[in-house]
Structure 1
Amino acid sequence: MINYAIVGCGHIAKKHAEAIKKAEDSKLLAVCDTDPDRMTYFKEEYGADTYTDLDKMLKVEDIQVLNICTPSGVHAPLAVKAAKAKKHLVVEKPIALKIEDADAIIEACKDNGVKLAVVHPNRFRPVMMELRKLMDDGLLGKLSHANVAVRWNRNQEYYDQASWRGTKEFDGGVLMNQAIHNLDLMLWFMGEVEEVFSMDATRLRKIEAEDVSTGVVRFTNGALGVVEAATTIYPKNLEETISIFGENGTIKIGGVTATKIEHMNIEGLSEEIVNDLKAKIDENPMGKPGHQWIIEDMTVSITEDKEPIVTGEDGKRALQLVLSFYESAEKNQPVEIGK
């Protein structure tokens, strides 16, 4: 049995707690928050011990993993402290808001011999895992380009729930908060990015960060990509899509939350095979919750001493892409990744 603890008892922490409860060989032992009232639910629902002092909780030897569910801007100091206390880490996306903070987390985990997983759960949707198999088998051939769109609604009430939402210091905008999942998927399917050009704006929401962003990317393999992300869609979430185009195939994954095959035409795959695959996915489009996948994978990573599926470096790559979009939009010019 691997024992988990959570720091930061806001909305996303409930997903972590339920994932820990459902995951095999995992138990939620404790939670920590500066506000005692926010911890009541976790004590009553899961029997978790409660702490307002993180240092005190980290001294509990039975706790092996710390799940960091605080606002993004404070991930780094908490993660580094936990790593030094020899706790493995599950860090909510984004891993951090600055590259130097991501590096600090990764290095602290390496130096202290602890595992690090970043929560990019969309990889574990059934449709995404099936698409990855097709990509790994090379069925699309040479890749031409990809298109990612997040057309969602986050109204002003959403941002007004907490003072940190929509700020550049603690949260970021639509790219950092919502579309980073889709950027992670794009990197997972298409490979590394070498150059980006982006424009963004804050059009409708009263926030510091962007509520709409558009951009293009050039991958190191020569393929191109287009990214559109917005929380300004009226009156509710419209769609989340990822489309990939290759010399031997075209695939579009869509729906409100990108859980189904909207189009698939691949050389050598019959209509019957494609329809069977669609039906298989439609039976259970969400599959096992992504957070549960992350927890179970961390438990196995500890017991079998292996790297988690979604590593700290994966989290850093997605962060780097977002920051490169921001830099390009600010400078109004193309930006080369890592230069």
Structure 2
Amino acid sequence: MTRKIGVAIIGLGPASLPHSHSLIDLAERVDVRWAVSRSAERAEAYRKQFPFAVTTDLEAVLADPTVEAAIVLTPPSSHLDVSARCFENGKHVLVEKPLELTVARGETLVEAARRAGKVFGVVLQHRLRPASLRLKAALAAGELGTVEAAFLSVPWWRPQAYYDEPGRGTLARDGGGVLLTQAIHSLDLFRSLVGVSRVVAAQARTTKLHRMESEDFASALLELGNGAPGTLMTTTAAYPGHPERIEIIGTQGFATLIGGTLSLSFLDGRKEVVEAEGSTGSGANIMDFPHDAHRAVIADFLEAVSTGRDPVVTGNEALASQRLVDDILAAARR
């Protein structure tokens, strides 16, 4: 049996739910030593739901030698500070998306991980869905031929009540709007599949459906990694919320990835479908999705810690996707 790795969960907001369920599933591989929140009320609510030791004393957790790794689920504005303290205390870190508020802070975080010599992963779980892995393998093997064009659409919905929560949709807490907070999962997957070499033109705005500081709509014309054209549209104003969609036109076939379901249609008449169950969190209930992909991310991270290899989504990979968000917003301002 693989040695169990001692882990602490830091941050017990909504994001802790799929991670906690995943850690229960992975009980043979992980020993959850602590779950930490600075809020006593939130810690008590969590204690009633999950079988892990709960505390509000982060310092004690960081000093605990049985904690080898931390899963950081605090707001984006605190990722650098909390993760850096984990590195200073000899912990490996898996941090929730987005990497940080800004590219500059993200670069500082990635450098801190490099200096510490610790495994550093980012929770961009769409890459580890079975359909995503199959599509990536098909592209790598040339099954679709040469990519001639690709499209990304994220027509999600968030009610105003979501943005009325303190800090939601602000630059100070979230670092941005739909691109960085909601669509980052699909944008990161899209970039990992077909590459993006340039943002040709873009638009970004806040629609009349929301009162918020950052954008709830963004679109862009892109140049893919091989020079082919691409387009992108993301929003949280598409009621009641619809699954994200990636489409890829190849010289030998066409791929459609809707949520976690993949359809491949080849010019020689062959077809293939990889089915997925469950929603994608595209509507008002932000946690309306299965935790399978989160479990895969954590399992990959644990394997990386055990073997010393990089996780699937490294800090540098997350940083590249955050730079793309910045490039889209910069093009929109122009």
TM-score calculated relative to the size of structure 2 = 0.90
2:219 aligns with 214
What CA distance in whole angstroms lies between the structure 2 residues aligned with 1:288 and 1:40? 23
SS in structure 1 opposite 2:232?
strand
Q: Distance in 2 between matches of 1:80 and 1:287?
A: 30
Alignment of 1:1-339 (within 5 A): 1-23=4-26, 24-160=28-164, 162-171=165-174, 172-203=176-207, 204-234=209-239, 236-254=240-258, 258-261=259-262, 263-268=263-268, 270-271=269-270, 274=271, 277-278=272-273, 281=275, 289-330=292-333, 332=334
- The structure that is helix-richer by fraction is 1
> What is the one-letter code of the residue matched to 2:266?
I
- CA gap of 1:229–1:303, structure 2 versus 1, over 3 A, is same
CA contact (8 A) 2:199 2:328 kept: no
Query: In the alignment, is the contact (CA less than 8 A) between 2:19 and 2:291 conserved in 1?
Result: no
Contact 2:21 2:291 (8 Å CA) reproduced: no
Distance apart, 1:187 and its partner CA:
1.1
Distance in 2 separating the partners of 1:158 and 1:185: 25
Q: Are the counterparts in 2 of residues 149 and 229 from structure 1 also a CA contact under 8 Å?
A: yes
Count of paired positions: 319
> How has the CA–CA distance of structure 1 residues 237 and 266 changed in structure 2, closer, same or farther, with 3 Å as cutoff?
same
Amino acid at match of 1:329: A
Work out the CA distance in 1 between the residues paired with 2:307 and 2:131: 28
Instruction: Output one character per residue of 1:294-322: Cα deviation in whole Å (capped at 9) or x when no partner.
Output: 11111111111111111111110111111
Query: What do the CA deviations read for 1:133-184 (whole angstroms, capped 9, x no partner)?
Result: 1111111222111100011110011222x31111012112111111111111
Deviation at 1:284, TM superposition (A): 8.6
Q: Distance in 1 between matches of 2:217 and 2:20?
A: 32
Q: Which amino acid aligns with 1:29?
A: R
Moved more, 48-57 or 118-127: 48-57
Q: After TM superposition, where is structure 1 displaced by more than 3 Å over at least 4 residues in a row?
A: 44-47, 282-288
Relative to 1, partners in 2 of residues 1:282 and 1:297: Cα closer, same or farther, differing over 3 Å?
A: closer
CA displacement, residues 103-162 of structure 1 (integer Å, 9 cap, x when unaligned)? 1111111111110110011112221111111111111222111100011110011222x3
Q: Does the 8 A contact of 2:36 with 2:57 survive in 1?
A: yes
Q: Give % identity.
A: 27
> Residues 51 and 288 of structure 1: is their aligned pair in 2 closer, same or farther, counting only changes over 3 Å?
closer
CA distance in 2, matches of 1:239, 1:186: 15
SS for the counterpart of 1:10 is coil
Aligned match of 2:285: none
Q: Distance in 2 between matches of 1:105 and 1:196?
A: 29
Describe the shift of the 1:288–1:11 C-alpha distance in structure 2 as closer, same or farther (beyond 3 A): closer
Amino acid across the alignment from 1:290: A
What secondary structure does 2:7 align onto?
strand
Give, as a single letter, the amino acid of the residue that structure 2 aligns with 1:265: S
Letter in 2 for 1:264: L
The 2-side partners of 1:145 and 1:239 are apart by 20
Query: RMSD of the alignment, in Å?
Result: 1.9
How many angstroms apart in 2 are the aligned matches of 1:317 and 1:196?
17
- Deviation for aligned residue 1:44: 3.4
